[in-house]
Amino acid sequence: MSRPPDLSREADPCEPLPRLLADLGTGPGGLSEREAARRLVAYGPNEVSRRERASLAHDAVVQLVHPLALLLWGAGALAFVAGTPVLGWAILAVVALNAVFALLQERQAEQAVEELARYLPDRARVVRDGTERTLDAGELVRGDLLLLDEGDKVPADARLVEGSLEIDLSMLTGESAPVDRVAAESEKGLPALREPNLVFSGTMCTGGQAKGVVYATGGHTELGRIAALSQRTRRETSPLERQVQRAAWLIAAVAVGMGIAFLLVGALAGLPLADALMFAIGLLVANVPEGLLPTITLALAVGVRVLARQGAVVKRLSAVETLGSTDVICTDKTGTLTANRMRLRAVWTLHDGERPAEAGTGELGRAAAECTTVDRDEHGLVGDPTEIALVEGCTHWAEGQEGGTAGRDARRAALFRFDARRRLMSVVTTDADRMTVVVKGAPEAVLPLVTDPPVADPARQRVLSAVANMAGRGLRVLAVAARDLGPGPEPGREPRRRQDAERDLRLLGLVGLYDPPRPEVADAVRRCHTAGLRVHVVTGDNGITAAAVAREVGIGRPELVTVADSETLDDAALDRLLAGEAEVVFARSSPETKLKIADALRAQGRIVAMTGDGANDAPALRRADIGVAMGRSGTGVAREAATMVLTDDSFATIVTAIESGRRVYDNVRKFIVYIFAHAVPEIVPFLVFALSGGAVPIPLTVVQILAIDLGTDTLPALALGREPAEPGIMSRPPRSRSQGVVSGRMLLRAWGTIGVLSAILTMTAFFYVLWRAGWRPGAPTGVGAPLHHAYLTATTATFAGLVACQVGTAMAARTEHASLRQVGLFTNPMLLAGIAFELAFTAALIYLPPVQRLLGTAALPLDVLLLIMCFPLLIWGSDELRRWADRRRHRPHGEMETGDDRGGGTP
């Protein structure tokens, strides 16, 4: 009895067929049902595995235990201990609302693996025990003999052992033209997708019949490997997420440290326990920017909606900010830099040289149009854009006696479709008295098959020079050759194999097709260079053609380097190339090359945007910081794996998205300044209370702080997220990956200048009200005391004064360096509406009796109101003076420095 095959290791599908069949333990009658069942149990079903998503409960816990939430949990617990359950429940409600909002946003899970799974068929036909049978595709095992026919979806990776197929590989490669697969010997050294005898799970049979032996199932197929890479390539937290997390831990440490320190101070000063606990609660709540996380989330969500209107659908909120820090774009050429509207521009023959296509294409054009597979429907020509351009360029052929596509098909005796490996296609055509082979493809693929002119003939050099000249002008060059098979269309006389057809050819000439750059791309590239972004082109096209297009749109600053065959570039050379200053055209690239480039750039600390359209681009799209898929030409898998989908497929939309990302990041910093600025005036009242040993009553209650943080502050903060971009936003270099969203310069502005001035003004209002009522330190102000109403009015003055200071802060935070006059007072109507709501809401909290009892507020006299009305002008005016001094200080150095250059950035 023969030894059973060892299926613990993967079979090599390219080894000689008898050896492969032996390794898989397969005979002419296929596997036995018993052996197939054993293999199914041992090696698992033919399914693409799915990584389980985290449970809803897990995600909810994550949102409830981040540092800022823990601070609020602690404050709520202290409120219950201090006997103020209403305050405790209010604080816990804030925690819950923040968690629910964040959870709803984060549950927008990506569906790349599920999209891949949908490519798998439900049923498959196999031969087992010598009999054909149909079974669930999930029951296929390695070694099964698989039967494939036109219209079938391939259920597993297989090597053909009989027959031939026409296969649509577009879901793996993004190429629309079907390719031929035939039972033949393997050609060593080729990538698996180019092997002429292999078919792959999830692809579609568009013609032919064949039998194949399954050599890989489930996660071991090409489709399964893409799914595994998509799952292993986990999403990393964005720079903004990491920086906000660090800021949250910093705030938590400061708040806890201050709380413990001042609890000890209160105990030494003899404060009652209830007062000490209330003081600790006040410090915790005042330090926590309750509105920060939801405001950031909302600002990013608004950015996503704006980008969608601009043609870029962003699938992850934090990616909006990552876009703003992008410093390298790796882009495809066709359809992204170019319009994907190919036109026949020139023809070249040995006899006439080059001439415009409009001057007539003659025999060369007719032959090229015959060697196409485009069809015509009610909307016009459909098929490959290059072939459509050939047919449209030969108007005599398309509209004259040749009969267009219908006449072409009637004359065709044989068709050998375009082979991506050989980079050519051929047809055999007949007419009344002749049979002819026509071959069309890349010049470097067709010329070795040409014998007229001979290799040694000087005319060969003229051909090569013409190819280089046309490609150097950005034309896509195809060579067209033919061979006369003699008189008469005798059935059965046409070649049956393409090797027999594609030989001993006579060169008819060259055709040059032009895909014009999109009109908006050159300006977009210029904006990239102004913004310090580098642009690399990663394409499967010829290097000379791709480099010409790159130069035409302005890529190549300070210089352009072309890698003619990117597949041969080793890792060390790639690292050296990407570490230099040049922009690079990576020609003849594959999806694997894209993944290598993304990895190499990220290893150098770059933030990378990478475009792609095929399913096997998915790993590179997920590995890049920003994966960009094409909405029109991209496959479903690429769109699901990407971070951003372009609805117009245009490079310019990527640049617009980067500009929007920078604007969103700047605006996040603006409302961080706005939110952080009121921490000092909220903390100072409790410090005054503690340091006075209780002689000064608490100038601001905890409930009033919550009303400010969650009520009056929210709309202006959100409106700052809609602030238009400041001038010069695309004239500064990208920020580094390590640069924090919260900088020392920002904190100095928020806490050290605006915050301190706000605290001075609010305490002035508080003591002014008490002073005018005759209060002296230590005088009782509790319920029933003569000064109780004056105390309520004084805390209300503190509350209203803080709101007024925040109005001034909102106007000041709109810009870091420019004056408000340059930015424009009315350029953000949402902010003006938010301030109006803030003032109206504050008035309701102060003057409505039910709310007065809840918040402990009282109506303010006219003189106090007039005093408080000055606060916004004082806050805004002081910051305007700071900006004016800052501009004067840097004016002698030439162009005004950006905030990023000085480490602070534009808040």
Give percent above pLDDT 90 in the chain.
30
Q: Where are the domains of the chain?
A: 17-49+119-232, 312-338+518-657, 343-514, 678-723+741-893+902-907
**Which of 560, 548, 556 lies closest to 528 in space, CA to CA?**
556
Least confident of 84-98, 175-189, 281-295, 325-339: 281-295
User: Can you tell me whether residue 11 is helix, strand or coil?
Assistant: coil
- 490-529 tens-digit pLDDT: 666 678 778 888 999 999 999 999 888 989 999 999 999 9
pLDDT at 104: 64
Most confident region among 166-180, 385-399, 699-713 by mean pLDDT: 699-713
Q: Is the pLDDT of residue 883 over 50?
A: yes
Please report where in the chains the tokens 């698989």 appear, as a residue.
Answer: 146
Q: Are 181 and 162 in contact (CB under 8 A)?
A: no
pLDDT at 311: 84
Least confident of 21-30, 380-389, 896-905: 896-905
Confidence grade of residue 664 (pLDDT, cut at 50, 70, 90): confident
The residues that are catalytic are 332
Q: Is the pLDDT of residue 112 over 50?
A: no
φ/ψ of residue 423, rounded to 5: 60, 40
Confidence grade of residue 792 (pLDDT, cut at 50, 70, 90): very high
Helix 292-309 with 85-106: angle, nearest 10 deg: 30
> Domain 343-514 - what CATH class?
alpha beta
17-49+119-232: CATH topology is 2.70.150
Q: What is the mean pLDDT of the chain?
A: 81
pLDDT at 629: 87
Strand 204-216 and strand 380-382: the pairing is unpaired
Angle 716-718-722 from CA coordinates, rounded to 5° = 105
**783: Cα separation from own chain's centroid:** 59
Taking residues 736-742, report their average pLDDT. 73
Confidence grade of residue 606 (pLDDT, cut at 50, 70, 90): very high
pLDDT at 692: 82
Helix (H) or strand (E) holding 248: helix 239-268
- 575-599 tens-digit pLDDT: 999 999 999 999 878 777 888 999 9
pLDDT at 114: 43
Taking residues 104-132, report their average pLDDT. 61
- 801-853 tens-digit pLDDT: 999 999 999 999 998 777 777 778 888 999 999 999 999 999 999 999 988 88
- 162-179 tens-digit pLDDT: 988 888 776 676 565 677
Q: SS3 string of 445-490?
A: HHHHHEEECCCCCHHHHHHHHHHHHHHHCCCEEEEEEEEEEEECCC
Q: Are 111 and 119 in contact (CB under 8 A)?
A: no
> Is the pTM above the cut of 0.85?
no
CATH numeric code, 312-338+518-657: 3.40.50.1000
pLDDT at 186: 79
What is the length of the chain? 907
Domain range 678-723+741-893+902-907, CATH architecture: Up-down Bundle (1.20)
Most confident region among 499-508, 865-874, 877-886 by mean pLDDT: 865-874
- 420-477 tens-digit pLDDT: 667 889 999 987 678 899 999 989 899 999 999 998 888 999 999 999 999 888 888 9
pLDDT at 511: 94
pLDDT at 767: 96
Alpha-carbon torsion (735, 736, 741, 745), positive or negative: negative
Higher-confidence position of 228 and 387? 387
Most confident region among 218-227, 654-663, 692-701 by mean pLDDT: 654-663
Q: Is the pLDDT of residue 87 over 70?
A: no
pLDDT at 720: 87
CA distance 789 to 794: 9
Confidence grade of residue 14 (pLDDT, cut at 50, 70, 90): confident
pLDDT at 275: 66
